[in-house]
Amino acid sequence: MKNFLKNRDFILFSIIIFGVIIVGFANPYFVKPSSLSDVLTDTSILIILALSQMIVILIRAIDLSVASNLALSGMLISLLSTVYPELPVVFFIVLSCIIGTFLGVLNGVSIAILKVPFIVTTLGTLSIYRGLIYFVSDGKQVYSHEFSENFLALIHYKFLSLSFLFWVAILVFIVMYILLNHTRFGRNLYSLGGNPDAAKYIGINENKYIILAYAISGFFAGLCGYLWVARYSVASTQIAIGFELTVISACVVGGISVMGGVGTVVGCTLGALLIGLIRNALPAVDISQFWQLAISGAIILIAIIINTKTEQRKDKTIMVE
Amino acid sequence: MVVCLFMKLELKKISKFFPGIKALQNVDFNLKQNSIHALLGENGAGKSTLVKILCGVYQPDEGSIFLDQQKHIISDPTSSLQLGISAIHQESVMFDELSVMENIFIGNHIVKKNRLVDWFAMEKKTKELLSNLEADIQPDEKIKDLSIAQRHIVQISRSLVHDADIVIMDEPTAALSQKEIEELYSIIRNLKKQNKSIIFISHKLDEVLEICDEFTVLRDGEVINADLISNTNKDQLITNMAGREISQIFPKKQVTIEQEILNVKNLYKKTQFKNINFNLRKKEILGFYGLVGSGRTEVMKTIFGINKFDEGELTFKNSKLKIKSPKDAIQNGIVYLSEERQNLGMTGLMSVKDNINMAIMDKNSKYLILDKLKDLQNASELQEKLNIKVSYWSQLAHSLSGGNQQKTVIAKWLSTKPEIIILDEPTKGIDVRSKSAVHEFMGELVDSGMSIIMISSELPEILGMCDRVVVMYKGLIKNILDVSKTSSEEIVGLASGE
């Protein structure tokens, strides 16, 4: 079965390569290194958020508030940067992460301690965090010329002709890979999602893990808050609206089971890359914008059908034949 | 070998009560070091409650636990593990999607100095453990790909890693082949040599006599007998387990049983059951007895159309019966009351009235509109007949007591005017008075012309209520007995695979 899972990642990888080649035939410009590098840059935030969402999905929950969290953290640091333009960019990044983590912990506490179901909690905070942006910004935008040079310094930095954004995604990938595969914390997340009752028997504190998972999800939403506003040089009430659904789709396409306990960091990353590829490739091959949403949706459904087909659980054996 | 007589674990006067039930009462249990101790009793005798107390899942209401002569409170599963108690459960407490080595080390991963998980060391240790147990399992295999015997070995390895002194095994041989059982025995004897104490739960008395040193028999939550295995024999153990008196009153009405109404022929479903042949006659109460997990519920769910069968034939009133879904069964007059009353029998957040009318909504509506008057008539008629205690009609079903919930579910099915009612553990977890009300009502039902199939794990109930009893063991029917011509010993024996 382990081979099969490896295969699943391999299949996904092949589909991505195959997709790039096909699109390349239709539009040779798309496969130029600079365009591919743009696709990677464009997908970086999705990769980061999918990996952090994966942690939450692993324990049989979901975080719908990530996009609102991202937008709120982004708006708060943007407003701050217009008032204190001289502050160093690291300050803004750290602050954005702290705000995001705080918002994530609120989710976790509501679910673990107050026992509000995760779907209700994060649906609620989705609106609350989004609503707070109107409150702090008076509904106004922060435009590109209002950001300080400091604030935007890092985002245009390139190394080996890959963007800063993509390097951050690679770093997050490595951190997540180690966290989920090589720490007790990560392995316990898998056991908690795989069999919550059994996890209790081995002494795993469910509440602690719920809060930590949401804190991590919030942390990366905060990080992406900075990345998003810096990249597009705009902070508004509308940024990243609906993006949580793209993130969840990336996880599902990447083979993260919504039943919990199943999924790999590599698979999740590939899922995000595939979604990113589709979003970038469809316009490149002149498929009407009207079709794009429907095609993305169909691909997600196919991924889910494949997942459920391979996940069917067996009857308990009573009779030995 | 020198047997050490030092008490490893002592339970003194342990009692545990659940609403309306005494699960354990003044239970004393003494476990010696390097000894294999059999814990015996019928379903519901209190064995699993005792195990759950040792595992820290339940807290005893009275009594105390001594480990190595020191008093301990086992407040949760973690402290149970820390005290060196490890259980191999019947139900899966493993992680299907994770590898063998991870299941062995779960919650206890080996870490390097930098706090990262040391997969290499874990794999090495796993190989070592598995080769000591002479098991042919690879450390990176997933649990879901293992056989049941292999899973047991993984669980045993887990308790060895935790360095448990006390290993509880809950029916470890239930689903194993003879060869696997022999292998397990040698592992168990090995554990004993390593100074471990083992609590061995089994329904197979031959194996208990073969492998165990001591035994304790529980019955209705009380210790009936505790001694050395060498001082007892099989007959005595069976009498100890089954020989309770029929203390409840079973108001069985005398009715004349009429012609055959249902005939089940050669029913077969892969990995579940085989050669299921029996018939049911009008006005008869047919019991189904067997251990939990012997396939009784699976057969009934298949007849009711929830599960599909692979081969076989059902005949209902002399014509072939085709059942593809529960709807077909209900239309033919066959209904099934699930053992999981709260999950599958009723909708807790709906009113009692709506629950009663749930299955006949199409009959009670005209042009797609529900006739509320008919609803109320039907509900009040049945409420009166069954004596369901409701304070008001819109009372939510989940706020009723267990007995009244069960009556509500029965009322729901009676609304459909069935001819055959299948009752799966109808009196499980309800108090004695409601129990006898359910029994009395069963008598009235057969008197009015219905037939009943009753799955029950309580022998007195089977003996008190049924005309015939079908005994199942591991997906097979061992025998069909006339209740007036059999004994509890014979039934218990058959159900244990004798």
pLDDT in tens, A253-265: 888 888 888 889 9
CB atoms closer than 10 angstroms to residue B384: 9
Q: Which residues contact A63 (CB under 8 A, 6 or more apart)?
A: A53, A56, A104, A107, A118, A122, A214, A217, A244
* Residues of A with Cβ-Cβ distance to B141 under 8 angstroms: 2
* Residues of B with Cβ-Cβ distance to A318 under 8 angstroms: 175, 271-273, 293-295, 298, 474-475
Instruction: Answer for the pair B197, B8: CB distance below 8 angstroms, yes or no.
Output: yes
Contact A183 B117 (CB under 8 A): yes
pLDDT in tens, B411-436: 888 888 889 999 988 887 666 667 77
Instruction: Answer for the pair A108, A213: CB distance below 8 angstroms, yes or no.
Output: yes
Map B277-294 to HEC letters.
EEEEECCCEEEEEECCCC
Which ipTM did the prediction report? 0.75
Cβ-nearest to B107 among A202, A319, A320? A202
Task: Return d(Cα B178, Cα B476) in angstroms, integer.
Answer: 17
Contact B93 A195 (CB under 8 A): yes
**Helical pair B148-161 and B119-132, crossing angle rounded to 10 deg:** 110
Mean pLDDT value across residues B282-306:
88
Is any Cβ of chain A less than 8 angstroms from the Cβ of B310? no
Rg (CA), chain A: 20
Contact B274 A190 (CB under 8 A): no
Strand partners, B62: B15
Map chain B to HEC letters.
CCCCCCEEEEEEEEEEEECCEEEEEEEEEEEECCCEEEEECCCCCCHHHHHHHHCCCCCCCEEEEEECCEEECCCCHHHHHHCCEEEECCCCCCCCCCEHHHHHHCCCCCECCCCCECHHHHHHHHHHHHHHCCCCCCCCCEHHHCCHHHHHHHHHHHHHHCCCCEEEEECCCCCCCHHHHHHHHHHHHHHHHCCCEEEEECCCHHHHHHHCCEEEEEECCEEEEEEEHHHCCHHHHHHHHHCCCCCCCCCCCCCCCCCEEEEEEEEEECCCEEEEEEEEECCCEEEEEECCCCCHHHHHHHHCCCCCCCEEEEEECCEECCCCCHHHHHHCCEEEECCCHHHHHCCCCCEHHHHHHHHHCCCCEECCEECHHHHHHHHHHHHHHHCCCCCCCCCEHHHCCHHHHHHHHHHHHHCCCCCEEEEECCCCCCCHHHHHHHHHHHHHHHHCCCEEEEECCCHHHHHHHCCEEEEEECCEEEEEEEHHHCCHHHHHHHHCCC
* pLDDT tops 50 at residue B2: no
* Residues of B with Cβ-Cβ distance to A321 under 8 angstroms: 270-271, 274
* Residues of A with Cβ-Cβ distance to B98 under 8 angstroms: 190-191, 194, 261
* pLDDT tops 90 at residue B48: no
What token pair was written down for B312? 């076989």
* Residues of A with Cβ-Cβ distance to B119 under 8 angstroms: 182
Is any Cβ of chain A less than 8 angstroms from the Cβ of B115? yes
Is any Cβ of chain A less than 8 angstroms from the Cβ of B95? yes
Task: Return d(Cα B308, Cα A185) in angstroms, integer.
Answer: 42
Task: Return d(Cα A97, Cα A90) in angstroms, integer.
Answer: 11
Task: Return d(Cα B352, Cα B408) in angstroms, integer.
Answer: 7
Instruction: Return the H-helix or E-strand segment holding A16.
Output: helix A2-26
Handedness of CA B169, B171, B177, B179 (dihedral sign): positive
Contact B144 A1 (CB under 8 A): yes
Q: Tell me the residues of A at the B interface, defined by beta carbons under 8 Å apart.
A: 1-2, 178, 181-184, 187-188, 190-191, 194-195, 197-204, 261-262, 315-321
Is any Cβ of chain A less than 8 angstroms from the Cβ of B111? yes
CB atoms closer than 10 angstroms to residue B27: 25
Q: What's residue B247's pLDDT?
A: 46
Is any Cβ of chain A less than 8 angstroms from the Cβ of B374? no
Contact B476 A184 (CB under 8 A): no
Q: Which residue of B76, B86, B97 to mutate against A (max A Cβ within 10 Å)?
A: B97
Contact B95 A184 (CB under 8 A): no
Q: Which residue of A58, A201, A312 to mutate against B (max B Cβ within 10 Å)?
A: A201
Mean pLDDT value across residues B473-483:
89
Mean pLDDT value across residues B118-136:
85
Q: Which residue of B95, B154, B306 to mutate against A (max A Cβ within 10 Å)?
A: B95
* pLDDT tops 90 at residue B331: no
* Residues of B with Cβ-Cβ distance to A317 under 8 angstroms: 148, 175, 271
Residue B370: phi and psi, rounded to 5, are -70, 135
Task: Return d(Cα B370, Cα B354) in angstroms, integer.
Answer: 11
Contact A183 B94 (CB under 8 A): no
Instruction: Answer for the pair A66, A250: CB distance below 8 angstroms, yes or no.
Output: no
Cβ-nearest to A315 among B81, B93, B271? B271
Is any Cβ of chain A less than 8 angstroms from the Cβ of B155? no
pLDDT bracket for residue B137 (50, 70, 90) = confident
Is any Cβ of chain A less than 8 angstroms from the Cβ of B78? yes
The CA-CA-CA angle for residues A78, A81, A82, to 5°, reads 95
Contact B295 A191 (CB under 8 A): no
Is any Cβ of chain A less than 8 angstroms from the Cβ of B476? yes
Nearest CA in chain A to B94: A198
Is any Cβ of chain A less than 8 angstroms from the Cβ of B181? no
Instruction: Return the H-helix or E-strand segment holding A162.
Output: strand A162-163
Q: How many Cα atoms within 13 Å fall on the side-chain side of residue A305?
A: 6
* Residues of A with Cβ-Cβ distance to B177 under 8 angstroms: 320
**Sheet arrangement for strand B21-32:** B21-32, B7-18, B62-67, B70-72
The strand pair at B197-201 and B166-170 is best described as: parallel
Nearest CA in chain A to B103: A191
* Residues of B with Cβ-Cβ distance to A191 under 8 angstroms: 95, 98, 102, 106-107
Contact B295 A194 (CB under 8 A): no
Contact A198 B77 (CB under 8 A): no
Contact B95 A190 (CB under 8 A): yes
pLDDT bracket for residue B281 (50, 70, 90) = very high
The CA-CA-CA angle for residues B283, B284, B287, to 5°, reads 150
* Residues of B with Cβ-Cβ distance to A178 under 8 angstroms: 116
Q: What percent of chain B clears pLDDT 90, i.e. is strictly above it?
A: 9
* pLDDT tops 60 at residue B248: no
- Give B485→chain A minimum CA distance, Å: 29
Mean pLDDT computed over every residue of chain B: 83
- Cα torsion through A53, A59, A62, A66, rounded to 10: -30
pLDDT in tens, B69-126: 888 888 888 888 888 888 887 666 788 888 899 888 887 788 888 888 888 888 998 9
Contact A187 B92 (CB under 8 A): no
Cα B23 from chain centroid (whole Å): 15
pLDDT in tens, B351-370: 888 888 888 777 777 777 77
What token pair was written down for B464? 């008190």
The CA-CA-CA angle for residues A106, A235, A102, to 5°, reads 15
Task: Return d(Cα A55, Cα A28) in angstroms, integer.
Answer: 37
Low-confidence ranges of chain A (pLDDT < 50): 1-2, 5
* Residues of A with Cβ-Cβ distance to B145 under 8 angstroms: 1
Q: What's residue B246's pLDDT?
A: 45
Mean pLDDT value across residues B361-382:
77
Of the listed ranges A187-191, A308-312, B322-326, B342-346, the one predicted with least confidence: A308-312
**Helical pair A164-182 and A206-232, crossing angle rounded to 10 deg:** 170
Indicate whether this model's pTM tops 0.90: no
* Residues of B with Cβ-Cβ distance to A256 under 8 angstroms: none
Is any Cβ of chain A less than 8 angstroms from the Cβ of B77? yes
Q: What's residue A247's pLDDT?
A: 92
Contact B98 A194 (CB under 8 A): yes
* pLDDT tops 70 at residue B3: no
Nearest CA in chain A to B299: A318
Q: What's residue B431's pLDDT?
A: 62
Nearest CA in chain B to A188: B107
Nearest CA in chain A to B115: A183
What is each CA distance from B161 to A76, B102, B119, B155, B444, in whole angstroms? 51, 12, 15, 10, 58
Contact B271 A195 (CB under 8 A): no
Instruction: Return the H-helix or E-strand segment holding A269.
Output: helix A265-284
* Residues of B with Cβ-Cβ distance to A196 under 8 angstroms: none
Contact B108 A202 (CB under 8 A): yes
Cβ-nearest to A319 among B99, B177, B271? B271
Give burial (CB, 10 Å; 0-12/13-18/19+) of A321.
exposed
Chains A, B: CB contacts under 8 A, how many? Answer: 99
- Cα torsion through B176, B496, B440, B412, rounded to 10: 10
pLDDT in tens, B174-226: 666 667 778 888 888 888 888 889 999 887 777 888 889 999 988 878 888 88
Q: Which residues contact B436 (CB under 8 A, 6 or more apart)?
A: B248, B249, B250, B251
Mean pLDDT value across residues B12-34:
84
Contact B95 A187 (CB under 8 A): no
Task: Return d(Cα B495, Cα B76) in angstroms, integer.
Answer: 34
Give the residue among A28, A150, A19 at the shortest CA–CA distance from A78.
A150
Mean pLDDT value across residues B39-67:
85
